[in-house]
Amino acid sequence: MRTLCASTLIGEVFVIGFAGLVAMKDPDLSMGTVWTVSSIAMFLCVALCGVVTRPGGIAFGWALQIALIASGFVVPTMFFLGVIFAALWWASVHYGRKIDEAKARFAAQADAAAPDAA
């Protein structure tokens, strides 16, 4: 699960960076504000890559997805991209858990078969 979720989060880092470039064109926003918010969001994505398997990591990831969708109020394209990445996040969590369960099942089968071979 960790690999799939981290891949999604790293993709979001790039999307947030590009959204920051688009948001700079808004005359109502200062460049400092745009890059402070964008930098914090990008840092949170990278930091979450390391803690996604810890308690609360998935919930924090969902909060990040909601924030990404909400950023559409500043950059309207982010409504669409936020929904896309929320779907990718769901798939990463859902299929990542299935992969982890399958790995554990295969490891248990290999451990059970090992004494028979000896």
pLDDT at res. 55? 92
Question: pLDDT tier at 84 (50, 70, 90 boundaries)?
Answer: very high
pLDDT at res. 113? 82
pLDDT at res. 97? 92
Q: Which of 27, 41, 97 is nearest to 69 (CA)?
A: 41
pLDDT tens digits, residue range 12-22? 999 999 999 99
Residue 116 clears pLDDT 70, i.e. is over it:
no
Is 82 in contact with 8 (CB distance < 8 Å)?
no
The pTM of the full predicted model, rounded to 2 decimals, is 0.86
pLDDT tens digits, residue range 32-83? 999 999 999 999 999 999 999 899 999 999 999 999 999 999 999 999 999 9
pLDDT at res. 117? 54
Considering the chain, what is the average pLDDT of its residues?
92
Q: Which residues of 73-107 are buried (b: 16+ CB within 10 A; e: fewer)?
A: ebbeebeebbeebbebbeebbeebeeeeeeeeeee
